[in-house]
Amino acid sequence: MRALIIGVGQCGTKIADLFALVDFEALAINTSRGDLDYLKHIPHERRILIGEGLTGGKGVNANPLLGREAMKRDLPMVMRKIGSIIGYEDIDVFFLTFGFGGGTGAGGTPVLAEALKEEYPDSLVVAIGALPLREEGIRPTINAAITIDKLSKIADSIIAIDNNKLKESGDDITKAYERINYTIVERIASLLALVDVPGEQTLDASDLKFVLKAFGSFATIGYAKADANKVKSLSRLIMKSFENEGLYLDANIESALYGLVAIHGPPELLKATEIFEALDYLTNKIRGKQIFRGFYPDPREREVEVVTLLSGIYESKSIEEIVLTAKRYAQSFMKAKKEAEAKKKKLLSGLPDFDDIYP
Ligand code: GDP
């Protein structure tokens, strides 16, 4: 299974940089030279500055129109670079990481996703984006809503991470982001690390691709981990990984179409009866009734780790809140704009021109 992580914008490149730290193939794309310099693990030749003629390497100041334009202008250069990294061996999944609320990521990611789909039709394009915090205000919410709409028409799945949900109250924002980014990478890396690995029941790349090929709907990753000697019930641990606090997104998991569960731990704990009991329960719970499974007994392991992926989700409070807030704002803004135009017209109508007064 070969994945290429492409970070776009500040948030996206920070997340991609962590993927590089745990040995994933990753590259970084940004309009800000300073933000690219700040990365630690992605090699310099894999950091791409876009839109230099547009912004002078200074970023787009959270303006997605500029982010889109920067990506469009430099797309041939970006695609050449990606082609040179890929070489002759196919990519199974492109993971595009970005922040939904900013400019470079929000504007540029849909453009890049479309180009990748066109050039690599057999590879999946999965967007991994952080949703803005409520306290960031209306612009990030609007950027997010529009980007959700665009990506839902291009990407195979959108793994949305609700920053609100992962930010513990009282956390300093930089620390919160850092922790959120680690959590994202840890979970996705744990999942990918188990694909194609020999086990009692093995998940292969085609299972993962099947689950992620979900017509641009939402996907979410759950996780549960416990010391082997503290696990009282494995089925409880599996279910916990599906529960809301384990997920990145406030979503109704029952609306999911597909699921995938990977369980890794000491052989004496991975009891088939308990695993099947939990998986049967969960299979019946989701609307699509299909759950792929992989069990990986490992005698060296002292912990039990469960990673779950649910896809085809279309009911999510996190997403609804963003889209409805953006729509309400857009409606009231358009109304206010119309009123201002009408008022201006009324106030200024009937004024003479200079030549009427100064013959
Ligand atoms: P861009 O460089 O113009 O694409 O803008 P950013 O990447 O800074 O995107 C800003 C949005 O991403 C904001 O809405 C933030 O909530 C979110 N964000 C920024 N940095 C991080 C980060 O490191 N982690 C997470 N999870 N979210 C981030």
For 111-154, write each residue's pLDDT tens digit: 999 999 999 999 999 999 999 999 899 999 999 999 999 999 99
Options 3.20.20.450, 3.20.190.10, 3.30.1330.20, 3.30.1360.40; CATH for 217-313 is: 3.30.1330.20
Residues of the chain with CATH 3.40.50.1440: 3-155
For ligand 1, mutation pick of 6, 8, 11, 148 (most atoms within 8 Å of CB): 11
Half-sphere exposure in the Cβ direction for 356 (13 Å, CA): 4
**Cross-sheet strand order for the sheet of 303-313:** 47-49, 25-30, 3-8, 93-99, 124-131, 157-162, 217-227, 303-313, 258-265, 290-297
Q: Choose the residue to mutate in 8, 10, 14 for probing ligand 1, maximizing ligand atoms within 8 Å of C-beta.
A: 10
Report whether residue 136 contacts ligand 1, using a CB cutoff of 6 Å. Answer: yes
Say what the ipTM of the complex is: 0.99
CATH 3.40.50.1440 fits domain 3-155? yes
Q: Where are the alpha helices (DSSP H) in the chain?
A: 9-21, 33-37, 52-55, 64-73, 75-86, 104-119, 138-152, 163-166, 173-194, 205-212, 234-242, 272-285, 317-348, 354-357
Least confident window among 9-23, 106-120, 148-162, 264-278:
264-278
Q: At 198, is the pLDDT very low, low, confident or very high (cuts 50, 70, 90)?
A: confident
Report percent pLDDT > 70 for the chain. 99
- Structural contact between residues 207 and 302, judged by C-beta atoms closer than 8 angstroms: no
CA atoms of 14 and 12, how far apart (whole Å): 5
Domain boundaries for CATH 3.30.1330.20 within the chain: 217-313
247 Cβ partners below 8 Å, 6+ apart?
220, 221, 222, 253, 310
More confident residue, 244 or 249: 249
Q: How far apart are CA 325 and CA 132, in angstroms?
A: 12
Sequence-separated (6 or more) residues with CB below 8 Å from residue 53: 73
| pLDDT value at 169 more than 70 | no
Model pTM score: 0.94
* pLDDT at res. 201: 83
Q: 15 C-alpha to center of ligand 1: Å?
A: 10
Cα end-to-end span (Å), the chain: 82
Nearest CA to ligand 1 atom 28: 11
Residue 141 known to bind ligand: no
Give percent of the chain above pLDDT 90. 81
pLDDT of residue 283: 94
- Pairwise pLDDT comparison (193 vs 29), residue with the higher score: 29
Is 129 labelled a binding residue?
no
Q: Please give the DSSP secondary-structure letter assigned to residue 197.
A: -
Name the amino acid, one letter, at 91: I
Asked whether the predicted pLDDT for residue 244 surpasses 70, the reply is no
